[in-house]
Amino acid sequence: MDTRAAAAAVDHRPLSERAALNKEALKQSFLDNLFHTQGKFPALASKSDYYLALAYAVRERLLQRWISTAAEYMQKGARTVSYLSAEFLMGPHLGNNLINLGIYDEAKQAMTELGLNFDELLAQEEEPGLGNGGLGRLAACFIDSMATLEIPSLGYGIRYEFGIFHQSIVDGWQVEKTDKWLRYGNPWELQRPEWAVQVKLGGYTEHRSEEDGTLTVRWIPSRLVSGVPYDTPILGYRNNTANTLRLWSAQAPESFDFEVFNRGDYYGAVMQKMSSENLSKVLYPNDEHEGGKELRLEQQYFFVSCSLQDMIRIMQGQRLPLEHFHEKFAVQLNDTHPAIAVAELMRLLVDEHKMPWNRAWQVTCKTFAYTNHTLMPEALERWPLPLFKKVLPRHLEIIFEINARFLDEVRRRYPGDSARVARLSLIDESGPRYVRMAHLACVGSHAINGVAELHTELLKSDVLRDFYELWPNKFSNKTNGVTPRRWMVLANPRLTRLVSDSIGEDWIKHLDQLQKLEPLAESADFRSHWREIKRANKRALAEVIARRCNVAVDPDSMFDVQVKRIHEYKRQHLAALHIIALYLQLKAQPNLELAPRTFIFGGKAAPGYRMAKLMIKLITGIGDVVNRDPMVRDRLKVVFLPNFSVTNGQRIYPAADLSEQISTAGKEASGTGNMKFQMNGALTIGTMDGANIEIREVVGADNFFLFGLTTPQVYALQAQGYRPHDWYEQDPQLREVIDMIRDGYFSRGDASLFRPLVDSLLWHDPYFLFADFRSYVECQQRVGETWVDTERWTRMSILNSARSGKFSSDRSIRDYTKDIWHAPSVPVELLTEHHVRA
């Protein structure tokens, strides 16, 4: 059947009625879906039913775009970016899809006219939290930008049944609960069982010389798992593009079950089914830490193999020879989690499609590009050789072969330099042997990038130095960005209205246009509007805080916010030390003039990371003391907002006055929360780390609160022998603060509770809190002085937002496309529109 003819057949009603983008049509399909999809009528319908009915009404409006996009790409044989990521931290879809379709207000009105509370319906959506933090959220921003820029792309990942855990705070401690996000169904995905693929695991290999002299390898697995794709449309902003996020779910392959069944082993068959389905059961909740867990390696291989097989299926469907794989697909590896793709593509090409090794290697290297996301040494993935061999016996052989050829090249380049050979090897042989995934990614990719300028420089000079010396041209920087659609238009409708009324709507697609706000910083009237909006956003957040934390906070106090994963290197405890210092000051001088401040923290700790959990307990402990002390007279409030997520982020960033970006210099690869705060008009207090440096560069040193050691200073201090205890002894204020924690002031007299934290700081302080303490406290003093000059602060806030254009993920994606992917935009023509006009 011809595609256009088919589209015409289902046509005629669509645009004008069925999927029209207006209020009345929305109402109609909402009611249709309530009856025909949910099978409910108003007297029986729950909020969730209403949400689902609206979601399906919106989905109907996506499908036309989705189908048109697929048809357009197929017809053009478009070059496609495959973004491979073990995490996609999408956040709720409904609001975002309404924004991108341009019918947010219409939907709101339609629901209101039906007597429903629109915001309440939006709040029904369980957020797909299929990621831990920065890396997963970046993937989500990137696929939004690719769709907006009309770049053909597929996001490939895992459909975890349980996403990142739900955090609650009980007695000041983090408590984790499973995230059953699929409980009420997911209206945004379409299962595509017809494109399921089989993935092998375990077993052994057989090598055979054929009669014609060729060598063939057979991998005889011990297990087979079926990968079933679930597709979610990813809309561009107000264009016709709907790209695809394809997430793989693991299921037991029926045929395999049958073998066991036939042997009469019913129990064994069921167990096998369960163990197969385990593969996509749960997201590993560790941020920046190696796993070393068998299931994690299996997950990584599972989604990579599914995705590469899927790309091969697409090529074969378009009758493209596999020699052209790298011309059809640009595959980006989001960190090393999908790095096994290098060996898997080699296996597919050489073992299964009989391509000669050298040819296959050329194709592979031209296909992949690798993004590194962290400088933390403990986060560099390595797999113990025995484990690797057990799960992926054939891949280990392939990696050995890649390594042998690679190290030959290294020896030719650096004769006699065996130390260098050992450093570069894909196998770490310094002790028990490991496969180094970052090395595999570097060797198998034509491009390697860091995510902020400093980070890329540190990769070149430090973490990946030997690779940089070998292949300097492979390296480039691609500074991160975030999508202004979610992080401004959706999250901050008030500001969006003011900005669009002032400079038009172009900024939403071309964030540089925010520059046009600069002159308005001089208008008292505009500044007053700007402040009103911030105040309204703060009031809304204050309500959330009252509900969740049972603490009353004053929307007129400064909202000083640190939200991100809890980590020692991110130094939430440095902020805690400052709060205690302020508290002591107030105790000593009860009448001190101090502009009221509300300290807001949020973020999850990896469940096994004890120190991070203790940091949460410290913050809540400080809140318990400070919030209740009458002597403070409400001048300080400390809250820990539970369960920081995309949804909560959307409420927090627009309400912040001060953005805390206080990691030890040289530790935070980029940061992306810093950009969300800046766009929404918060001023940053930060170190010379990650993208902070670039934020300061664009906003100007006058509009940024800088403190702390620089990376070279940190290195120097480390080299000369850092003794935190000396710093403690030399700074009476620091001493008083630390003693107070140590003596149990924030743990109801329990002097043992925070001991591990205090001792770590006193005797090791690996992240240099003590060295930066004085500088931080003084900088906060400047923040306080600036804050009381309201007009000045507002001017700075406007300028921060006006100069945030660089940090749109649209800019990041343009950079990737220009330097790495070379994938041209393919605008989409709506199929039905074509026929309506024809």
Mind telling me the catalytic residues?
A: 373, 564-565, 570, 672, 676
Question: Considering beta carbons, is residue 478 or 742 the nearer one to ligand 8GP?
Answer: 478
- C-beta separation of 442 from 423 below 8 A: no
User: Which H helix or E strand runs over 232?
Assistant: strand 223-235
Q: Which residues contact 8 (CB under 8 A, 6 or more apart)?
A: 832, 835
Q: How near is the Cβ of 545 to ligand 8GP at its closest, in Å?
A: 26
- C-beta separation of 95 from 490 below 8 A: yes
Binding mask 135-174 for ligand 8GP (x = CB under 6 A): x--x------------------------------------
Q: How near is the Cβ of 629 to ligand 8GP at its closest, in Å?
A: 35
Nearest residue to ligand 8GP, using CB?
Answer: 134
- Residues 634-673 binding ligand 8GP (CB under 6 A) are 668-672
Q: How near is the Cβ of 450 to ligand 8GP at its closest, in Å?
A: 9
User: Which H helix or E strand runs over 170?
Assistant: strand 166-170
Q: How near is the Cβ of 311 to ligand 8GP at its closest, in Å?
A: 24
Question: Considering beta carbons, is residue 128 or 623 the nearer one to ligand 8GP?
Answer: 128
Transcribe 331-349 into DSSP letters: EEEESSTTTTHHHHHHHII
Residue 670 has phi, psi (to 5 degrees) of -140, -60
Question: Considering beta carbons, is residue 140 or 738 the nearer one to ligand 8GP?
Answer: 140
Q: Round to whole Å and give the CA distance between 436 and 243.
A: 33
How many residues lie near ligand 8GP (CB under 6 A)? 19
Question: Considering beta carbons, is residue 49 or 127 the nearer one to ligand 8GP?
Answer: 127
Q: Which stretch binds ligand 8GP (CB under 6 A): 56-64, 134-142, 304-312, 438-446?
A: 134-142
Helices assigned H by DSSP within 77-206: 94-101, 104-113, 118-122, 134-148
Question: Considering beta carbons, is residue 672 or 678 the nearer one to ligand 8GP?
Answer: 672
Given the DSSP bridges, would you call strands 445-450 and 475-477 parallel, antiparallel or unpaired? Answer: parallel
**381 sits near ligand 8GP (criterion: CB under 6 A):** no
Q: How near is the Cβ of 759 to ligand 8GP at its closest, in Å?
A: 26
29, 64, 124, 132: which one binds ligand 8GP (CB under 6 A): 132
Q: Round to whole Å and give the CA distance between 334 and 371.
A: 6
Q: How near is the Cβ of 656 to ligand 8GP at its closest, in Å?
A: 18
Q: Which one-letter amino acid corresponds to residue 555?
A: P
- C-beta separation of 372 from 448 below 8 A: yes
Structure tokens at 88: 């996609």
- C-beta separation of 801 from 677 below 8 A: no
Transcribe 351-380 into DSSP letters: IIT---HHHHHHHHHHHEEEE-----GGGS
338, 642, 690, 805: which one binds ligand 8GP (CB under 6 A): 690
Q: How near is the Cβ of 441 to ligand 8GP at its closest, in Å?
A: 13
- Residues 250-289 binding ligand 8GP (CB under 6 A) are 287-288
Three-state SS for 747? coil
Q: How near is the Cβ of 131 to ligand 8GP at its closest, in Å?
A: 8
27, 200, 373, 811: which one binds ligand 8GP (CB under 6 A): 373
How many degrees, rounded to 5, is the angle at CA 167 between CA 96 and CA 689? 70
Q: Which residues contact 670 (CB under 8 A, 6 or more apart)?
A: 134, 373, 451, 452, 455, 479, 480, 690, 691
Q: What dihedral angle (degrees, nearest 10) is formed by the CA atoms of 303, 306, 309, 310?
A: -100
Q: Cα dihedral sign for 414, 415, 417, 421?
A: positive
Residue 159 has phi, psi (to 5 degrees) of -90, 80
Q: Round to whole Å and give the CA distance between 599 and 353.
A: 59
**134 sits near ligand 8GP (criterion: CB under 6 A):** yes
Question: Considering beta carbons, is residue 86 or 517 the nearer one to ligand 8GP?
Answer: 86
**832 sits near ligand 8GP (criterion: CB under 6 A):** no
Question: Considering beta carbons, is residue 288 or 765 the nearer one to ligand 8GP?
Answer: 288
Q: Round to whole Å and give the CA distance between 595 and 243.
A: 49
Q: How many CA atoms lie within 13 A of 275 on its CB side?
A: 15
Structure tokens at 207: 């090598």
Question: Considering beta carbons, is residue 86 or 111 the nearer one to ligand 8GP?
Answer: 86
279, 311, 391, 451: which one binds ligand 8GP (CB under 6 A): 451
- C-beta separation of 315 from 345 below 8 A: no
**374 sits near ligand 8GP (criterion: CB under 6 A):** yes
Question: Considering beta carbons, is residue 296 or 755 the nearer one to ligand 8GP?
Answer: 296
Question: Considering beta carbons, is residue 235 or 452 the nearer one to ligand 8GP?
Answer: 452
249, 480, 562, 620: which one binds ligand 8GP (CB under 6 A): 480
Question: Considering beta carbons, is residue 458 or 796 the nearer one to ligand 8GP?
Answer: 458
Q: Which residues contact 453 (CB under 8 A, 6 or more apart)?
A: 477, 479, 693, 694
Q: How near is the Cβ of 805 to ligand 8GP at its closest, in Å?
A: 18
**133 sits near ligand 8GP (criterion: CB under 6 A):** yes
Q: Is 433 exposed, middle or buried (0-12, 13-18, 19+ CB in 10 A)?
A: middle
Question: Considering beta carbons, is residue 671 or 708 the nearer one to ligand 8GP?
Answer: 671
Q: How near is the Cβ of 369 to ligand 8GP at its closest, in Å?
A: 15
Q: How near is the Cβ of 299 to ligand 8GP at its closest, in Å?
A: 12
Other CB atoms within 10 A of residue 518 CB: 14
**817 sits near ligand 8GP (criterion: CB under 6 A):** no
Q: How near is the Cβ of 670 to ligand 8GP at its closest, in Å?
A: 4
**336 sits near ligand 8GP (criterion: CB under 6 A):** no
Q: What dihedral angle (degrees, nearest 10) is formed by the CA atoms of 92, 95, 96, 97?
A: 110
Q: Round to whole Å and give the CA distance between 577 and 415.
A: 53
- Name the site residues for ligand 8GP (rule: CB under 6 A): 132-135, 138, 287-288, 335, 373-374, 379, 451, 480, 668-672, 690
